[in-house]
Amino acid sequence: MTGHAAHPAIRASALLRSAGDRLCATDILTPRTRHVARSTAAAILALGIAFGLQLETPYSAASSVLLVANANPGAVFAKGGWRLAGTLVGAAAALALMSLFIQAPALFILGFALWLGLCTGAATLLRHFRGSGAAVAGYTVGLATYGALEAPERALDAVLGRTATVAVGVACLGLVTALLSRRATRTTLDQALIGQFGTIAGLALERLRHGGQPHALPAAAQIASLFAVDDLLELSRAESRDMAGREGTVRDIIAALFGALLGTLDLGDPDPWAPEDLVAARRDVVTELPRILSALEARRCDEAVERITALSRALQARIGRAEAADAGAPAPLIALDRLLAFAEDYRSALSGMARLSAGHPVPARSFRFHRDWGAATENGLRSALAILLAGAFGIATGWNDWSLLLLILAPYAVLLAMTGNPAASAGAFVNGTLVAVPAAFVCAFGLIPNVQGFPLLIAVLAPFWMAGLYATTLPRHMLSGLAFLVAFNTLVGATNPMVFSVPAFLNQAFGWIAAVLVTRLTFQLLLPHDPRRQARRIHAALRRDALALLHADPPDHRHVWAHLQHHRLARIALSLRGDPAAAAILADGIAWLRLGRAAIRARAAAQHPAASALLRTPILQALADAARSPRQARDTLAAAAEIATRASANPRAWPAAHRVAAGLTDMAALLEAHPDWSFDRHLSPPC
């Protein structure tokens, strides 16, 4: 009997020990939990200060914290600063509209729609947190004037109250983040760059050792992940003034790495009868590249630069010997030139890393990014139409709380337009709202009436905040978490004193659910987002810039040009993520980009001091003729390449001539591989 009774006790003891061991082994202070705890503390501080200042809607200060909260300190500082700036601009616009049309709701709605459409277009064109600032400036008009149309005497108080709550929320989150977070984005940026060096070196070694697939192109993920380093740069700039002065260096590195990534396409298997110099050059790169990468990973940037510089010089020496030994065989020299071009791009990127690590000041270079004016126009028109239709519905039906529809529709219309899939994102907002409504009802009528004092109020609200914040850290539930936090906080409406009215709550909850459903319908019916159309539009811009290089040199430094085209390819990759058509349009875009790079090399070589006018004039004329006569472009370029090859008879012209031949040969090969290409700059390829 005793033995049988002891058996369950032993088992229970073992289970308790096992649970205790697992609990001790669990690190509750992970970055995610630290972010949730830090953000919750900032929301508590903001709510407390808002109560102390007796603001009309103190819960809005906590909402500002929850919306700006981010695990990255740089994102908090940048997003918070631009949110405050956007609020100030939006408040000024709200005062202007109300002073003009406070007694004319229809004209007020028209002005609000135009303003929101303009800000939505600006948010689409601007990058990173500047875009969020424009978005906030647009929808602040609706937030600041909520209720003011029904009570015009409250207009100024509403605007000032909205501005004050945002300022309190942003200040509290910035303070808590500055005190309780580690600024490690610079380290993450360095690691990401070194990882890209390793990825590109691995691709080059694979092709040099095994040849790789003859036409294997960089995957969409490789293109997008390389450009994602630019996003890390923005966060690092927000964290550190020091990095703000080095953004040009980092973007130089990204552009050079992109050139090296495309250069790996030309490093396939050599001819079995290739001369010894070419075989030895490939062997040198295969031997030296891992050593260079090891030095970089050990943060010995100067050593890595010295090694790649020595490798480039060795390749140049081999090219010189090959030129002297056999001036009539351009193919090996072209292969050597491609190898040297890859090494030079890699060296340029490594030199940038050395400057970045040493902190050497460099002249700022202005980089450009793709601006999708078509998407900006569509998004702006959609937001304006949504506000006009919602306002007309409210006025026509006489709904007492119709301005709630504008309050919710305006921010959701502009913010979701900035996502890759607005309709799906609107669905996530619907899900988050549907969860928030019962949670807010339980909190407002089941829990809060039983507590007194600010500490107990926080004890009730904080678990709901923490759940929503945790959801925002999960990519799959991020948008649902944001929608939950906004709806829950607003529906509970923590004020002093609290107002408990079930009919008012249900009316507001109904309006909120109706607004998010209308938001989803807006993106499904009003100028619905078409990722393929957007990708075709971006592709057309890339092709236009590539064709322009047949007429003239690039207007900017080659790295600036390459960075802009890289941004376009990354936008296409993100726009068509998961779409079977992505591979085809990306491949076509890369081919046009290679055509442009080949044109840059050919023009630069033709204008080399060693090239005589007898070589320069027909080559530049051939490039111009190819642009004007697309049907004969391949034959024109092939004939020009033959002219460059025959220039080998002049030993002084040959160093430039074979480089011209390399560029023209690449262009002719690309045109032969794409017989369906059109040089009409206004046409878009089928997606």
pLDDT at 681 over 70: no
Confidence grade of residue 408 (pLDDT, cut at 50, 70, 90): very high
Residues 6+ apart with CB under 8 A from 506: none
Nearest to 569 by CA among 511, 45, 561: 561
CA distances for 578 relative to 53, 224, 582, angstroms = 50, 13, 8
Q: How many CB atoms lie within 10 A of CB 605?
A: 25
For residue 475 the two structure tokens come to 């990519």
- Cα 295 from Cα 1, distance rounded (Å): 71
pLDDT at 381 over 50: yes
> Strand locations in 348-507, DSSP E?
none
Output 476 or 244, whichever has higher pLDDT: 476
Confidence grade of residue 686 (pLDDT, cut at 50, 70, 90): very low
pLDDT at site 679:
66
Q: Where are the domains of the chain?
A: 26-183+371-525, 185-239+246-358, 531-673
Amino acid at 257: L
Amino acid at 334: I
pLDDT at 653 over 70: no
pLDDT at 685 over 50: no
| pLDDT tens-digit map of 427-463 | 999 999 999 999 999 999 999 999 999 999 999 999 9
- Cα 221 from Cα 216, distance rounded (Å): 14
Range 549-557 average pLDDT = 81
pLDDT at 365 over 80: no
pLDDT at site 684:
43
Lowest-confidence segment of 223-232, 407-416, 638-647 by average pLDDT:
638-647
CB-based burial label for 17 (10 Å; 0-12, 13-18, 19+): exposed
Per DSSP, the residues of 211-272 read: ---TT----HHHHHHHHHHHHHHHHHHHH-HHHHTTHHHHHHHHHHHHHHHHHGGG--PPPT
Question: Which residue stretches of 629-682 are H helix?
Answer: 633-646, 654-673
pLDDT at site 8:
59
Range 99-111 average pLDDT = 89
pLDDT at 499 over 60: yes
CA distances for 128 relative to 37, 54, 253, 480, angstroms = 25, 34, 20, 21
Question: Which residue stretches of 359-402 are H helix?
Answer: 373-397
Lowest-confidence segment of 30-39, 80-89, 199-208, 269-278 by average pLDDT:
269-278
Helix (H) or strand (E) holding 515: helix 502-525
| pLDDT tens-digit map of 194-218 | 999 999 999 999 888 876 554 567 7
- Cα 555 from Cα 561, distance rounded (Å): 8
Confidence grade of residue 16 (pLDDT, cut at 50, 70, 90): low
- Cα 12 from Cα 434, distance rounded (Å): 41
Confidence grade of residue 12 (pLDDT, cut at 50, 70, 90): low
pLDDT at 270 over 70: no
pLDDT at 63 over 90: yes
pLDDT at 36 over 90: yes
pLDDT at site 675:
79
Q: How many CB atoms lie within 10 A of CB 287?
A: 10
pLDDT at 26 over 50: no
Q: How many CA atoms lie within 13 A of 248 on its CB side?
A: 12
Torsion of CA 496, 502, 507, 512, to 10 degrees: 60
pLDDT at site 153:
75
Q: Which CATH architecture has domain 185-239+246-358?
A: Up-down Bundle (1.20)
Q: How far is CA 608 from the centre of its chain?
A: 38
Range 45-49 average pLDDT = 97
Q: How far apart are the first and last CA of the chain?
A: 78
Q: How many CB atoms lie within 10 A of CB 217?
A: 18
pLDDT at site 404:
85
Whether omega before 497 lies within 30 degrees of 0, making that bond cis, reads: yes
| pLDDT tens-digit map of 453-489 | 999 999 999 999 999 999 999 999 999 999 999 999 9
Range 87-113 average pLDDT = 92
| pLDDT tens-digit map of 580-638 | 888 889 999 999 998 888 888 888 878 877 677 767 788 888 888 887 776 778 888 88
Q: What is the mean pLDDT of the chain?
A: 86
Confidence grade of residue 126 (pLDDT, cut at 50, 70, 90): very high
Residues 672 and 596: beta-carbon distance below 8 Å: no
Q: How many CB atoms lie within 10 A of CB 189?
A: 21
pLDDT at site 643:
78
Q: Is 564 left (phi over 0), alpha (psi -120 to 50) or beta?
A: alpha
Confidence grade of residue 577 (pLDDT, cut at 50, 70, 90): confident
Range 518-528 average pLDDT = 94
Q: How many CA atoms lie within 13 A of 519 on its CB side?
A: 31
Q: Return the DSSP state at 443.
A: I
Three-state DSSP class for 121? Answer: helix
Per DSSP, the residues of 267-290 read: --PPPTT--HHHHHHHHHHHHHHH
pLDDT at site 360:
65
pLDDT at site 61:
96
Percent of the chain whose predicted confidence (pLDDT) is above 70: 89
Range 651-660 average pLDDT = 65
